[in-house]
Amino acid sequence: MKRNTKSDTPRANVMIEYSQPNTHKSFHVGHMRNVVLGDSLGRIYKACGYPVTMVNYIGDEGAHIAKCLWYILKNGHKAPAEHRGEWLGQMYAAATMALDDATVEEKPVFNAEVSQVLRDIESKKGDTYELWKSTREWSLDDFKEIYEWSGAHFDHWFYESEVSEESQEIVDEYLKKDVFVESDRSASSKPRKRSTSLPPNKISISNKCSVPWIRWASRRRRTATTCRTAWSCSLMERCRLVKGTSSPLANCVSA
């Protein structure tokens, strides 16, 4: 490919969001796939003369973390001196199995305990919150070691915990506007005419992708002033869940 770094036409700023692992879970080959894709896209854009910002979005909050910490606390497990990030992934896997194998009597009790752990984390105080902070760093240390080994570069790291409150404000706002409706599992969007204040082709969203999309929108609010174009490797998967979207790529790329 011919390198084109000079042009009379100003190049749009490009933000490439990639990798996006969850803390307290194993960093597997699927994550490495996204690292390779995102890093390659960034290098291609830079070679074509675009100003590129490489960012990472870390899933450091949510039910998966509550499950992991619940299992550690419930069973009194002690972390090893080394490979603690990997150990957290093992604890999460064990927690998932314990919840799946629970008896009918145990399930509501275990689920209530996991929910309490999540509330303790979100309260940002207490022993469980302190445990979350320390174990979170173990995962992040592992991620950084992997990125250094692979040569991946990030200009900025976003964290889910940074936008949780802002995301809730978005949910509350659109619940009041009757754009979102309550479901058994999460707040989800219901079909509306294109004249609503939500972006085109992003009105009817499945339950499973509604919360990630809302948190993505919250992050985009923060970056819209500096980046006119955004690309996310995993965002393609989210956009495929948007019903009625004829061109997922076009909707994901446009800012």
Q: Could you report the per-residue pLDDT of 166-221, keeping only the tens digit for each?
A: 877 887 888 888 777 665 544 334 444 444 444 443 333 333 334 555 555 555 55
- Residue 90: pLDDT band with limits 50, 70, 90: very high
**Alpha helices, DSSP H only, in the chain?**
29-47, 63-75, 84-100, 106-122, 127-150, 160-176, 207-223, 235-239, 248-253
- Asked if 24 and 64 count as a contact pair (C-beta separation under 8 A), the reply is yes
SS3 104: coil
Q: How far is CA 96 from the centre of its chain?
A: 19
pLDDT for residue 94 is more than 50? yes
CB-count burial class (<10 Å; 0-12, 13-18, 19+) for 82: exposed
Listed residue (112, 158, 120, 130) closest to 19, CA to CA: 158
SS3 230: strand
Per-residue pLDDT tens over the stretch 55-74: 999 999 999 999 999 999 99
**What is the residue-wise DSSP string for 13-45?**
PEEEE---PBTTS---HHHHHHHHHHHHHHHHH
Q: Please tell me the predicted confidence (pLDDT) of residue 220.
A: 53
> How far is residue 129's CA from residue 167's CA, in Å, rounded to a whole number?
20
pLDDT top residue among 26 and 222: 26
Dihedral class, residue 23 (left if φ above 0, else alpha if ψ from -120 to 50, else beta): beta
Q: Please tell me the predicted confidence (pLDDT) of residue 253.
A: 34
Backbone angles phi, psi at 254, to 5 degrees: -70, 140
* CA distances to 48, 186, 234, 254 from 34, in Å: 21, 27, 8, 20
